[in-house]
């Protein structure tokens, strides 16, 4: 609950690290397979793309034709503020 109530980004990061340590120490298994799920995504998490001239562009995370949101997971980045995205 503290993570969601904290507005200081650095303090949020510290709380998240503490939570991840507790989970790693106490949870023996983590099952990552889910066949169907509801997607609720933070608007600050976007896909970052870099072109050949090193220009960075951000775009909204959208599902693939098969409904997968995690296809471009390696390009996801969480920004400090919600970016203004081009349509």
Determine the pLDDT at residue 46: 93
Which parts of the chain register pLDDT below 70? 34-35, 37, 87
Helix, coil or strand: residue 27: coil
The pair phi, psi for residue 61, each rounded to 5°, is -75, 125
Q: What is the DSSP letter of 77?
A: E
Question: In which residue are the tokens 């296809």 written?
Answer: 71
> End-to-end distance of the chain based on CA atoms, in angstroms?
34
Within 8 A by CB and 6+ apart from 5, the residues are none
- Cβ–Cβ under 8 Å, residues 44 and 82: yes
Determine the pLDDT at residue 34: 60
Residue-wise pLDDT for 41-63, tens only, equals 888 999 999 999 999 989 999 88
pTM score, whole prediction: 0.50
């Amino acid at each position: 609950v503290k993570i969601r109530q904290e507005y200081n980004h650095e303090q949020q990061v510290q709380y998240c690290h503490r939570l991840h340590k507790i989970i790693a120490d106490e949870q023996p298994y983590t099952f990552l397979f889910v066949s169907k799920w509801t997607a609720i995504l933070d608007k600050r998490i976007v896909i970052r793309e870099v072109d050949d001239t090193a220009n960075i562009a951000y775009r909204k995370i959208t599902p693939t034709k098969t409904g997968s949101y995690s296809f471009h997971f390696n390009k996801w980045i969480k920004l400090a503020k919600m970016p203004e995205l081009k349509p």
